[in-house]
Structure formats: structure tokens, C-alpha cells
Structure 1
Amino acid sequence: MISCMLLASLTTTPSSVQKASPGIPADRIIDWSHAGVRMNGVRGILQYPVGVTCVLPAYRVYPNQSTDSRAGIQAAIDACPAGRAVYLPAGTYRLSGQITLKSGIALRGAGAGSTVLLSSATNSIQLGALALSNATRCDIIGGVAKDATTVALGAAPPSACTVGGFIMIDELPDHDVIWVRDSYRGTDSRRHVFLARITAINGNQVSFTPPNPYPFKSGSIPQARFKAASRICSLSGVEALTVSGSTDRGLYFCETDRCWSKNVEVTGFQGGHGMVQINRSLQTEIRGCYIHDCADYPAQPDGYGIMLFYDSCFSLIEDNIFDRTAAAIIGEGTSGNVYGYNFMRQVGRISWPVVMYGINGNHGPFGTMSLTEGNIMCQFENDGYHGSSSHQTLFRNSLNGLSYDGYTRLRWLVNLARASYYHNCVGNVLGDPSWAPNKYEMTVANGGGGYDVSCVYKLEYPNDGNTDLVPATTWTNWTAPFPDARVRDTLIRHANYDYYNKAVVYEPGKDPDIPDSLYYSSKPSWFGSLDWPAIGPDVAGLMKSIPAKLRWDTHTSTRNLPDLFPR
């Protein structure tokens, strides 16, 4: 168990969501302050004191770049008591295989660039392991309402249903908001999924946290699966080091609970499944990291920075720097996440020489109720390939359409493919003074356009790259015609400044005043002396800097790696 004394050392930040924002109805808003690490209701990454120092002769570690240190580092992790950190001093350590963390510890270096792990392994540092896919399914009585924290099972809970364990709820696609690609068959088609931590069991009633972000319908046959607390890697993290490699996934969070990466450099990995992957995990936090230079950039096939893989919920990806990757963040069927205040510089690949997206909100089915706030990036999209997405919110971001590779094609700042329904785009700055969009929106009705036609919004097409109406993939029971006018009809666009109109565009009848944040109640302490809010139509000059961008600017002058990380 984690000592109660550690609660006083949590890095706390006051936060609570605005339950309804001017311009966004309450049924499109959730309490995003649940995203990221929490313990006993207090938000913030735990600060473990050092319990084990990983040095010779106690552990066979060799900071000489050449001798394998994997076994020695693993032995130190295995020996570390819960509530403590393994400290790995400065040096470059060779890893011939994977390092696996256990619950309740941190692996901490002397700082990125000082403690360096050179890895030849896939999943170089892994937290957790898969088990829920094969877990027994239990029927749920009725549906599960938005914001619900309790379900009723149709029978007694299985032995894997324990307090502190996972409940994973899913349902069949309703073919109203939820669709999946034809290749998703049987139980694999149940792609609306919510993962939560069990707080109480009373007969057939199971209570959980965080609250459910999006309703499950009784007619879609909701079911639950469970994973016992004893089988979950929880409250563990990787801190203040560099992990460098050339295979896939430098950091791999796999069915973890409230785990983190803080002030970590991740570089050189292929990124086919993400240089960092979060797979079916709850309340993961990636903070203050520098994720850059995927293998073979810009000639790589994929090279994603962070991939949030299926069923991950309430992740917090905040205050990070991305450079020389494909999409900095890509979501695959995940919900309730916050992508906040990240700086995404150079993203792309030469196999597709166009302006690419900083965030792909949904690549796999079905993602919903995630918040993208305060980021500086080139573009945002949902790509329409593997399934639908709904209720995503873009708030106070700068989407500038800039490519540091020099590309100008596909400048489509907000690109929402088919079945991107009930999205919200509020308080953003769309474009950049250095170029002017050709159109406000690209739709079939206003003449469409090719890759050389730039726009603020591209809507209604089957996929992200389409300029015609031929989908790249087929979806089960998809009968709507193209263009998919419902994308445009359900999109809220309010209080955004764009460089086509060179003005703020408001929706008629909506309050022009917008809150500072949708998940902070006040300026967070880590923003320091910078202006808050930093981006928006009500900000002088439209935008100021954010901490991640300020660190990047400092680094471009000093070329000092530590300047890229929070102090």
C-alpha cells in the first residue's frame, strides 16, 4: 500500500470543469478534471522518495554505453518497496531487452540527457500486461447513463470484480452515432468502450470512478468485463531520463491505472504503434516530456508520437513538446481524454508531402468526449477510416497550418471526416498571419477543392484525404449518403478567430464570452508568469506563449537539452 504520508507530496493543481460553457450545451461537456493521475481525490503525480539506488556492486549496471544493464535495472525495480523510487544515476545504459515496472514505484533518472537508456527492445519500458480481452462478459441491466457511477449486473459479479480493479463496459454499435469498419467482427465490433476503477460492490451493484462520459443504450446490449486489482499495474511512473531506440514503443502503458511519464525524452523509435503507447489504460498522465525524431524521419511509414490505443480513458497529455514525428497524438477508440497545452512543431513524412495534423482525434472506432485545449499545432482531424467519433471539443487552440518541412498542400485546419458528429470548436485561433486560406470551409456544396485548396474547415467527406466522395473503407450498416451533411449540421463553431475572415466568427444567439478553460478553474501554477489564458479571441494579439513553446524557444537559443523540460 502507498503510505498516507505521500499524499502531502502530491503535485496538486486546482481544477474543475465548467459544467456548461457559453456556446457548448451541457450534454456535450464532461468533468475533464478527472483526467490524469488522482489519489484519494487529489490530483497530481506522486512524488516517491528514493528507495533503491541502482549502482554497482549491488546491481549489475554499467553506464558505459556498451555493457548490457537490463538485468541489473530490473533487479533494482524488483527489490524496490512500494511507495519508493529506483534512482538510476547519470550515465548511458545499454538495454538488450525490456524493463517491466511493477505497482507503486517510479524509475527515476538524473535528468533527460544525463541518464540515458539505449534500447534494442520493443516496448523498452513496459507497465502492465493485457488480460481484459479474454475476461468473462457479464450482462448489464438496462443502460448506463452519462455521468453514471454505478451499474447493475444481471448476475453475481465474477471473482475478478474487486474494489480497486477495473470494470470495462462495452456495447454493440447503434448505427446512429457509432459505426465500425466491416473488418471488426463479433465482439470486436463492440467498440464503444469505457474503462473505470471499481470503488464499491454491493450485491449485483458495482460502483466506479470516473463517471461514465457517454451513455450506453439498453438496446445495444451493454456488457461488463473485470480485472482484479491485484493484476493491475497502478501508481507507477518513469521520470527524468532519456529512452532511445529504433524499434517500436519506447514506453508502453498496458492496462495500467494512474501511471505516468514525467520529464522524459523519448527518441528514435519507429512509432508504428506510437513512440509512447497507452493501451486500455485509465488516467495515464504524460507530462513535461520531449518526444521527437522517430526512426528514419521524414521517410518513416508511421512514426506517431503518442498513440492512445483502444479503450484508454481519461488520459492527460499535457505540457509536452513534439518534433519530427508523424501525428504527435493519435486516438484510437478512446474517451474522456485531455490533450492540453502541448507544442507540436514539425510533424510529417515525405511519403505524404503535405501539411499534416498535430492531433488525429479518432483513427479507430469509437472515440468520444475528449478535450483538446490550449495546444499550438498545425491541424486537427478525425480521419474516418476505422469508425466514427462524437462529442470532441477543440477549445482555445492555435491551429496554424504551418509545416516546417516547407509543405503547403492539404492546409485543412479542422478536418472532420464522415460521422464526426456533435463536435465543438470554440475559442480557437485558426490559421496564421503568414498565409491566407482560399476558403472558409471545403464542402461539396461550395465547390469542394483539391489538395492545393486551403481552408479553415474541411467537412463531410468520407476520409481525411478525400477530395471526392469515394470512401477508403467500408463500415457495417453505413447507409448515409456522401457528403455526410450531419457532420456540418451538428458542429458548433463559436467565438473562433480565423484568417479567412480575419475576424471572430460567432454563432448567432450564443454568448460571446467564453471561460478561460474547460478543465482548470484558475491559472495552473506550472504556467508561471505567462499570461492566462494564452490563446483565444479575447487574448491581446490572439495568442501568447505556453510553457512548452517557451521552453522550445529557449532551447533554440541555448541548445541545452535540460531547457526543454520543466524546472
Structure 2
Amino acid sequence: VETCNTGSSSGSAHIELKGSYGCEVRDSYVHGGRTSGSGANYGIWIMNINSDHKIENNIMRHNRHGIVFEGGGSGCAILYNYIDDNFTEDLSYLGSARTNHGAHPYMNLFEGNSVSHLVADSYWGSSSHFVLFRNHLWGDQTGSGVPKKPSWGFIPVEVWHNQNYYSLVGNVLGISGKWQNPNWSSYSVIGTSYKSNSMMVFGCNSGNSNNPKARATAIIHGNYDLKTKGVANWEGGSDHELQESMYYDSMPVWWYRNTPWPPIGPDVSNFANEIPAIQRFNGKDSGNATAVINSNSGSLRKVNNGTGFNSSKTVIRLYSLSGKLVKTFENGEIVLKNGVLTEMHRGKLSAGVYLYSVQLPNGVIKRGVFSTPR
């Protein structure tokens, strides 16, 4: 599922993955259901037995739950999505995305997402072994297009009772300058009730009781919060160096050139930079280099302005928008003129939009996007 606009859904979900394996949902705008009542207007709904999905670079707004796991799901990667301005039939509540809404999702990765409110609830059972890595969890929303300003639920992340063995690593908790603009200095770092003013909540349920196991089994390591304006917990050991990504070995080929990599974390300048999905929603250009392809001859011209390439040592790779490798250009397939890359040949390419990466002799990789004429 790619580059879809799913506005004004009247059903349970805009995109539903049910009994599925190895699906990918990316680069889409999931928004605007006709109602946000119970069981309706889920953005991306991972329902029952599911595994090995990749949900990446999507915008999810004005849903009941931007994304929700219910009744299972394992081995899924939820990457670099923008989830904001969710609401339910209770307009006083800050709507949320859900890592769990029905037993038993487990061993899933949330990485690099920007989410107004994230909850693992216990209404329909348990979940476990989720990893939340380098996300920006707001505890607020922009308020754009929301029917009514909420008055409670301004908590970045909640892990309810029977939601065990969660790892929260390298996230940024809280945001300034949005709609509610909570007074984070009055918050506690860790709380036990979903109605408390806390950066993180563990072990609560829909009543007033609390089960300490959710907190006891959690690993809270290297999260920057606006309460302390620093990192309050390093529970994962003495090593405080965080890897850039748990999914990628290096910056992905589709990443916006002017956006820091990684974009979020206690070790990142500004702590929480706008991910590409937010920039796309706000109408900002990718900042990537452009190139022009001649679909008749199958040659790619003026890649990254064509400077500084050595044809015997430069490698150029073309990818589909989903990141699948399409072609590789190496020795003898790259044409230079006066030291400038002008063309590369390896058969005719189909019309469409491609990503490219250029690996220079010094190891530097340049990336961009281009489209073929139709």
C-alpha cells in the first residue's frame, strides 16, 4: 500500500491488515473518518494474526487511533510516521495511537515516529516485548481540525497493566508550543495513573488500581524529557551510547537531505527534529537533489549536479519508492565528460519515480529522487 490518500472513511479502518504477512504501508495520508466512535475510524489497523509488516513514512491524523494493534501482531516495524490530532467520541480526551488494544501483540519495533499520544491499553488483554526507540512522544497535539480542545490525557506514553517487558530507549518525551502546552515542570517523570500528570505511566487500568509488573519489567534508558530537561533513567547499563537505528544500517535512501539522521534522541541536536512525514504534511520540499532520466535511451543525466565522480570507483544504485533495489550501475556503465557524470547506461527504465544513491570513491553517499517523463 503506497502513496494513498484515505480521507473520510466510513468503516472500522482506513487500512486493515488482517491475517497478513510481510505487508508494507508507506508514504500515505490516512485521515478524516466520518465518525470516531468506538470501533470506527482506525487509521492503520493490525488485526489478529499478523507478522513482519513495515509501516513507514505515513501521516495519520484525525483518526480514533492513528495506528492500533488488536488481537496479535509480531515482528512489525513502525517507522518514521507522523501521528497527531486523534480524537474519540469523548472530545475531552487527547486521542492516541495504540500499541495494544487486544491480546497479544509482541516483539514489535516503534522507531523514529512523531506521536502526539501513545498508549498500550488493557481493555482486551495483554501485550509484551515492544521496543520504543528514538520516537518523539508529545503528550499534546497541534489541535488543527480537532472538533474540541481536550482537557485531559496529556501524557506522552502510557503502558497499562498486563503490558510487560516494554523497552523505552532514546525517546524524547514532551513538546513545547502546541495546543495545550502543558507545564512539564509540574509533572512527575513516572506515574501510576492515566489521569496523572506524568511523562510516562506504567501499570494503570481504566479504574484506579495499579499493577507494578509493567514498571518492574520495563527498561527505561536514555529518554530525554521536558520535566528534567535531561535523561532521568539509564536502566539498560553503563553504556550510554545509542545506535542510530535498530532497523537501518545507515540513513535510508528516501530520507530528506536537509533532515538530520537520526532525527530524534537525547544525543541529537535540538533533540526532536521534524521527520519527513511532518515536513511533507507542512508542504516542505524534501531538499533532495534532482535528476532527469531519458526513458528512450535509459540513461540518467545530471545526477546530483554531476560533480566529483570517478567512473571506475563510483557506484550508483536506483531504488523504487518502497526502497527495493532496481538497478546498480558500476564500472563501464557510467559516462563522464570532462570529469563530470553525464550519463549511465544499463537498459531502458520504466517510466516512474525512483530514488538513487551515489557512493563516491571516498565512501560518501549522496541521495536524491528523480522521475521519468511519461
TM-score relative to the length of structure 2:
0.69
1:276 aligns with 2:15: yes
Partner in structure 1 of residue 221 of structure 2: 494
After TM superposition, the structure 1 = structure 2 runs for residues 474-485 of structure 1, keeping only pairs within 5 Å, are 483-485=210-212
SS at match of 1:349: coil
Shift of the alpha carbon at 1:352? 4.5
In the alignment, which of 46, 57, 68 is matched to residue 308 of structure 1?
A: 46
1:412 is displaced (CA, Å) by 2.4
- Kept after mapping to 2: 8 A contact 1:319/1:343: yes
Alpha-carbon distance change, 397 to 271 in structure 1, aligned in 2, over 3 angstroms: farther
Identity of aligned residues (%): 29
How far apart are residue 417 of structure 1 and its match?
A: 1.2
Counting only pairs closer than 5 Å after superposition, residues 183-332 of structure 1 correspond to structure 2 as 261-272=1-12, 274-296=13-35, 302-332=40-70
Q: Distance in 2 between matches of 1:495 and 1:429?
A: 9
C-alpha distance in structure 2 between counterparts of 1:487 and 1:322, whole Å: 28
CA distance in 1, matches of 2:10, 2:59: 18
Q: Alignment length, in residue pairs?
A: 273
- Give yes or no for contact 1:436–1:499 (8 Å, CA) kept in 2: no
Query: Letter of the aligned partner of 1:455 in structure 2?
Result: S
Q: 1:429 aligns with which of 161, 172, 182?
A: 172
| Unpaired runs of at least 5, structure 1 | 1-260, 470-482, 557-565
- Distance in 2, Cα, partners of 1:301 & 1:280: 18
Partner of 2:297: none
Deviation at 1:362, TM superposition (A): 1.2
In the other structure, the counterpart of 1:342 is 81
Confirm or deny: 8 A CA contact 1:301 1:349 kept in the other structure: no
Q: CA distance change for structure 1 residues 276 and 459 in 2, over 3 Å: closer, same or farther?
A: same
SS at match of 1:322: strand
Aligned mate of 1:440, from 169, 172, 189: 189
Q: CA offsets per residue over residues 72-115 of structure 1, 9 Å max, x none?
A: xxxxxxxxxxxxxxxxxxxxxxxxxxxxxxxxxxxxxxxxxxxx
CA-based RMSD: 2.0
8 Å Cα contact 1:506/1:512 also seen in 2: no
- Find the counterpart in structure 1 of residue 111 from structure 2: 373
Instruction: Pick the structure with more helix per residue.
Output: 1
Report the counterpart of residue 337 of structure 2 in structure 1.
Answer: none
Partner of 1:210: none
Alignment partners' CA distance in 2, 1:510 and 1:336: 28
CA contact (8 A) 1:270 1:300 kept: no
How far apart are residue 270 of structure 1 and its match?
2.6
Residue 389 of structure 1 aligns with which residue? 127
Whether 1:460 aligns to 2:203 is yes
In the alignment, the residues of structure 1 paired with residue 60 and residue 73 of structure 2 have an alpha-carbon distance, to the nearest angstrom, of 21
Q: Does residue 507 in structure 1 map to residue 234 in structure 2?
A: yes
Q: Give the superposition deviation at 1:502.
A: 1.5
**Quick check: 1:271–1:305 contact (8 Å CA) kept in 2?**
no
Which residue identity is paired with 1:517?
S
CA distance, structure 2, for counterparts of residue 352 and residue 442 of structure 1: 23
- Cα deviation for residue 552 of structure 1 reads 0.8
Residue 224 of structure 2 aligns to a residue whose secondary structure is strand
Q: Structure 1 residue 351: deviation in Å?
A: 2.4
SS in 2 for 1:549: helix
- Which position in structure 1 is the counterpart of 2:334? none
- With over 3 angstroms needed to count, the CA separation of the structure-2 counterparts of 1:548 and 1:485, relative to structure 1, is same
Q: How far has the Cα of 1:299 moved from its partner?
A: 6.4
Instruction: Give me the whole-angstrom Cα distance separating, in 2, the residues matched to 1:400 and 1:511.
Output: 26
Q: Which among 81, 86, 90 is matched to residue 351 of structure 1?
A: 90
Aligned partner of 1:427: which letter?
G
Separation of aligned partners in 2, 1:413 and 1:545: 17
Counterpart code for 1:292:
H
Unmatched segments (≥5 aa) in structure 2: 286-368
Larger strand share, 1 or 2: 2
Alignment check: 8 A CA contact 1:322 1:344 kept: yes
Q: Which has the higher contact order (CA 8 A, sep 6+)?
A: 1
> What is the rounded CA distance, in whole Å, between the counterparts of 2:230 and 2:11 in structure 1?
39
- Does the 8 Å contact 2:140/2:155 carry over to 1? no
